[in-house]
Structure 1
Amino acid sequence: MQGLWWNTCLRILVNGKPGYKCVVGTRRCFSVKTSVWAPPKALSVDMESFTPDTIRNFSIIAHIDHGKSTLADRLLELTGTIAKKTSGKNEQVLDKLKVERERGITVKAQTASMIHKYGESNFLLNLIDTPGHVDFAWEVSRSLAACQGAVLLVDASQGVQAQSISVFHNARERGMKIIPVLNKIDLPASEPERIAEQMKATFGIDPSEILHISAKTGKGVEAVLEAIIDRIPAPQGAKEDPLKAFLFDSLYDRYRGVISLVSVQQGSIRKGDKIVSCHTRKRYEVTDVGIMHPEEVPTHCLNPGQVGYIACGMKQSAEAHVGDTLHRAGEKVDPLEGFKPAKAMVFAGIFPIENSEFPKLEESINRLTLTDRSVTVQRESSSALGQGCRLGFLGTLHMDVFRQRLEDEYDASVIVTSPTVPYKIIFMDGREKVVSNPTEFPEVTDSSTRVREVQEPVVKASMIVPEEYMGELMELCFQHRGENLEHRYLDAGAGRASRIIITCILPLSEIVTDFFDQLKSRSSGFASFDYEDAGYKKSDLAKMSFLLNGKPVDALAIIVHRSKQDATGRQWVKKLHQVIPKQLFEVPIQAAIGRKVIARETLKALRADVTAGLYGGHYERKMKHLENQKESKRKMKKMGSVELPQEAFFDMLSTKKS
């Protein structure tokens, strides 16, 4: 490796792959993996030649594991954006994070621009990728806001799933053109005719409009490209109009600051332009502009209808407000309609294993939130675990993915407390307070708080399941305090099992525990699940504290429903009994609500043989030592404190999750 060129490179590897990103003015970079000098990738056509009528902006919406990332690979290969794979292995180019490749899911929305020759014209196709899990619905809404159409992808062997229905209605409400596609028609278990009828009954789609493809083999994918060009409307906007750019996502580069992903609605934006944010009213100078192809490729400008990135010297991610409108300085424009910001639904405390590691953990969390703007962060401290952060997530999978990214990308070892949801406390004087930390929840014995009622968040849940599992799922819903249970048949074929969609109102606190695991277990993995916010509802809730030798452990406090307080108390007390190390005195482990003890276990004292060194003599000599030991244990029990080791706390929460 030559030091001269090493100093000119900004980034050698991009997500573990050779990258060719250079300092302005240099034209060559060193590739670590290939040891070959290579110029940065250049476009074969001029971007200014693409007028709005030759541009198509679209997303692919699908349930988990229906082949969305594989279809994106095939589209990128057919348009020559990436090299065609000869090994037959699906690379899933747009799934760039390690956690995405390990879990086989899309977590972060990505953008890729493709140039496709259709007829006598070149078309610019902007694919704005979407995740498929309900926890990342905010990522989906951001992607759809920058599109005029979407490809609805359905697995021909699994049929319509819950998340597909939710995102379909979201796209339909925006007036987007939907292209229905049946994937995996090459599988022996596929039933394209039956699933097509199912899509007709569920979405009102004409079966003759449905495309049949196999994204894995590439069969029929060419027709998808043609349908995108023929069916999806072109974006509107004129180059001569004042600049309006819709900011729908952002990422962070350590050298250039915040990189904003924008969709140009009208006007054009070039390097050197002075732009202003409608949200913050701050002024910036554009230092870099280009498209994602699928990595960053600089261009001269972005014109109406085009989707790309701009760098303008933003220092903090908060400056890049998602849903903001950017316009040229000195020109007044009406801001574009944004969309609702992300609302945290699940909260959990994250603490380092070693207290001295907190500054490093906090810095890692702040860096990670630059690429995941939906996470809320607040400092908190615990007498048992020390300094930590309380984070808000969109769901339990989102929380687990964030934890794994902390461990993978920043080598952090963390303890994650039991997830809770935001509860609404309504006082007698009409004041309202939202509480997400159990330690802030009012005690039932505290008369000074004068609480009128407590409300918990509820969701409208949708489950799609084969008919034979209907009884099991209805029982599961009732066990988790489900209400307003309804069901209807999605399809019914002669000699074939029907599929049923079950809807009900469920408390969010029941979903964030083990509901999804039980759903998959009881349906043998065939059920799909989706939910949407349904507001708050009055509920009979209480704060359960856990006491060790009469002293509460704040980090273990939880909020429970009165109907489950006995079972929950016994379950947690038994697990605490297993993980707490023995002390020199007897330790009572109690679960209490207010002053009422719900469950108790007693940890026996660690017995020391104080008579081991006594040989011979009268038995009263031994009794004297034993009495002294007994008296000492009584004093220790009265004055001693039991500290819950962080290793035991980690074991406790790991046991709870499993």
Structure 2
Amino acid sequence: MDCIIDRPSRRPEDRVSPRATQALQPAATDPAQIRNFCIIAHIDHGKSTLADRMLQITGVVSDRDMRAQYLDRMDIERERGITIKSQAVRMPWEVDGTGYALNMIDTPGHVDFSYEVSRSLAACEGAILLVDAAQGIEAQTLANLYLAMENDLEIIPVLNKIDLPAADPDKYARELADLIGGSPDDVLKVSGKTGVGVEELLDRVVGRVPAPVGRADAPARAMIFDSVYDSYRGVVTYVRMVDGKLNPRERIQMMSTGSTHELLEIGVSSPEPKPSKGLAVGEVGYLITGVKDVRLSKVGDTVTTHRQAATEPLPGYTDPKPMVFSGLYPIDGSDYPILREALDKLKLSDAALNYEPETSVALGFGFRCGFLGLLHLEIITERLSREFGLDLIATAPSVTYEVATDDGRSVTVTNPSEFPSGKIRAVSEPVVRVGILTPKDYVGTVMELCQSRRGNLMGMEYLGEDRVELRYSMPLGEIVFDFFDHLKSRTQGYASLDYEPMGEQEADLVKVDILLQGEQVDAFSAIVHRDKAYSYGVLMTERLKNLIPRQQFEVPIQAAIGSRIIARESIRAIRKDVLAKCYGGDISRKRKLLEKQKEGKKRMKMVGRVEVPQEAFIAALSGETEKKEKK
């Protein structure tokens, strides 16, 4: 269904605001006429839809080219209806006869991509805080609001989806006003779907967001806030100009590496790349140098000119700290070089991805990767599969532990196979501050879930009449597996979750090893709390019993903590019926044949090795089993 703005007419010329037509030419580069802002919100509150209406009203995208989620370029983003990658776009707008250039950044909403949001905030002076008028404030709304306040941004509160039958704009306007201070009348009410109120919002951005500040006569300094890899043009670097000016065909220098390159193209995204004559103070644009090495364009670096280089780099971003670790291994071992190249290219467009080579006895060569969360892991794995045609195994996710041994050593463990043997003095695990927003009816079930995951209640606060914010401290290892799924199912999908690191704590953690015929299989090892070690051992031994094919000899599957066995299952041997040819006769003849077979099985068990098929590894690590095996 076409989106209609103010009038029922469907003619394309009626969609573009009259105030955008005169400003469709490239806006002046005077910093006073530039406004840099981003849209922050909880996932699925309508950021991308609102961005679509802004693109239409300002006329930078014609109706013929318009599609839903225009700025979401990846297939995964469009299929799932979520934003994974921030996108910058320049839009013209006119207020009281003066043309302005609005640089908007559409940001992700999921907690796993909060690093993308923090980078976008560093390139802006203002933020639109978007809240769904039918759902109200969610956990990630609060997290993004605090991020914006830390960056001293001008915050414009906006209620979206006011056209929904379930919308209650007055109620949530009061909630928003109480949260950030001010009057409910200051909260703008818009509909990203129909376009109602979007022109007033653009006016508010021009009036409230301060113009960028910088020195035009100083040596050029531009901050890299994003970059992508183009297979034809090489690295495309997105920058925000702070001081000075950059011109085409000029030699530039990266201040962290000292590498120099020639600017082949410089321009702005509107929303397709448009080359310009340069970028000046306050402008947001892109640089292309033709460089193919992805490591030479580091996010957070400062770009300056080679001839008149700046002496002081801009304060950069803090490197994102991985929260969840998982091993990625190609099913076909010959794909290892392709996987390395693919990770190099993804690292450019996703600075939060960390990886290092790793070898597993069971799975061969691969990489130990660090992710910001489970959705981040899932998206990266899917992108590697789609964009590079790789078939991968991802091992069970784990977190980083600090292990202190009796001989005074301190070991950082990201993989259970790195867990030191011998006497352990203490094990420290990462702890996160968890914020859960839920309707008051589900407080009891949420508290029960958090306590079962070793959570400690830090506080509880009512936001409005029927919404409660619960704050817990909880081990990260307890929430990276299935905590979010359990939270959603227990609250019928109404609860929302946000978490941030808050340090480490000592805990009674042990390493559970899985042994096949006495040999340890490192891919199935896990670090768990001592109280849950037995249940993990029983789960994995039963799962492997169903997945590993029967051998010519009996195979014991054991779960052990150190040298102590805590669970066991056995895979029965395949036996030939040696009594089939005995139609009668003395029992001693039958017994002789059975004893002979028993000796053969014993000898075979001494020399035989258990071969675990690749499919069994994949199914055991992902929790999948064949239906017939379950039966």
Q: Aligned to 2:289, what secondary structure does the other structure show?
A: strand
- Higher mean C-alpha displacement, 507-516 vs 116-125: 116-125
**Do 1:384 and 1:555's aligned partners in 2 also have CA atoms closer than 8 Å?**
yes
The equivalent of 1:127 in structure 2 is 104
The equivalent of 2:4 in structure 1 is none
- 1:215 paired with 2:192, answer yes
CA distance in 1, matches of 2:146, 2:625: 33
CA distance in 2, matches of 1:408, 1:568: 33
The equivalent of 1:80 in structure 2 is 59
Question: How many correspondences in the alignment?
Answer: 603
- 2:433 pairs with 460, 466, 476, which one? 460
- 1:343 paired with 2:321, answer yes
CA distance in 2, matches of 1:435, 1:556: 16
**Do 1:573 and 1:600's aligned partners in 2 also have CA atoms closer than 8 Å?**
yes
CA distance in 1, matches of 2:88, 2:406: 50
**Do 2:403 and 2:412's aligned partners in 1 also have CA atoms closer than 8 Å?**
yes
Q: Aligned to 1:275, what secondary structure does the other structure show?
A: strand
**Do 1:262 and 1:310's aligned partners in 2 also have CA atoms closer than 8 Å?**
yes
CA distance in 1, matches of 2:336, 2:578: 42
**Do 2:220 and 2:310's aligned partners in 1 also have CA atoms closer than 8 Å?**
no
| Aligned residue type for 2:106 | D
The equivalent of 1:185 in structure 2 is 162
CA distance in 2, matches of 1:326, 1:428: 49
- 1:524 paired with 2:492, answer yes
Q: Aligned to 1:513, what secondary structure does the other structure show?
A: coil
Q: Aligned to 2:482, what secondary structure does the other structure show?
A: helix
| Aligned residue type for 2:436 | M
CA distance in 1, matches of 2:440, 2:214: 50
CA distance in 1, matches of 2:461, 2:26: 53
**Do 1:577 and 1:589's aligned partners in 2 also have CA atoms closer than 8 Å?**
yes
- 1:367 pairs with 341, 345, 352, which one? 345
The equivalent of 1:27 in structure 2 is none
- 1:437 paired with 2:415, answer yes
Shift of the alpha carbon at 1:475?
A: 0.4
- 1:116 paired with 2:115, answer no
**Do 2:24 and 2:92's aligned partners in 1 also have CA atoms closer than 8 Å?**
no
Shift of the alpha carbon at 1:548?
A: 0.9
Q: TM-score, normalised by structure 2?
A: 0.92
- 1:96 paired with 2:96, answer no
Q: Aligned to 2:576, what secondary structure does the other structure show?
A: coil
| Aligned residue type for 2:601 | K
The equivalent of 1:483 in structure 2 is 456
Q: Aligned to 2:112, what secondary structure does the other structure show?
A: helix
The equivalent of 2:578 in structure 1 is 610
CA distance in 2, matches of 1:309, 1:657: 48
| Aligned residue type for 1:422 | T
The equivalent of 2:356 in structure 1 is 378
- Higher mean C-alpha displacement, 52-61 vs 350-359: 350-359
CA distance in 1, matches of 2:314, 2:182: 31
Change (3 A) 1:487 1:131: same
- 1:68 paired with 2:50, answer no
- 1:596 paired with 2:564, answer yes
| Aligned residue type for 1:178 | I
- Cα deviation, 1:12-50, whole Å, max 9, x if unaligned, reads xxxxxxxxxxxxxxxxxxxxxxxxxxxxxxx95245x23
| Aligned residue type for 2:348 | L
| Aligned residue type for 1:247 | I
CA distance in 2, matches of 1:624, 1:360: 58
**Do 1:271 and 1:300's aligned partners in 2 also have CA atoms closer than 8 Å?**
yes
| Aligned residue type for 2:30 | T
The equivalent of 1:424 in structure 2 is 402
CA distance in 1, matches of 2:80, 2:579: 58
CA distance in 2, matches of 1:270, 1:452: 60
Shift of the alpha carbon at 1:427?
A: 4.3
User: Kindly, what percent of the aligned residue pairs are identical?
Assistant: 46
- 2:442 pairs with 453, 458, 469, which one? 469
CA distance in 1, matches of 2:114, 2:293: 24
- 1:45 paired with 2:25, answer yes
The equivalent of 1:148 in structure 2 is 125
Shift of the alpha carbon at 1:324?
A: 1.5
**Do 1:201 and 1:490's aligned partners in 2 also have CA atoms closer than 8 Å?**
no
- 2:174 pairs with 197, 200, 204, which one? 197
| Aligned residue type for 2:193 | K
**Do 2:294 and 2:344's aligned partners in 1 also have CA atoms closer than 8 Å?**
no
| Aligned residue type for 2:330 | P
| Aligned residue type for 2:398 | T
Change (3 A) 1:570 1:615: same
CA distance in 1, matches of 2:295, 2:201: 38
CA distance in 1, matches of 2:182, 2:42: 18
CA distance in 2, matches of 1:528, 1:514: 14
Shift of the alpha carbon at 1:626?
A: 2.2
**Do 2:511 and 2:528's aligned partners in 1 also have CA atoms closer than 8 Å?**
yes
Structure 2 unmatched ranges of 5 or more: 1-22, 627-631
| Aligned residue type for 1:81 | V
Q: Aligned to 2:480, what secondary structure does the other structure show?
A: helix
Shift of the alpha carbon at 1:205?
A: 4.1
CA distance in 2, matches of 1:442, 1:656: 30
Two-structure CA RMSD over aligned residues (Å): 2.0
The equivalent of 2:265 in structure 1 is 288
CA distance in 1, matches of 2:624, 2:326: 14
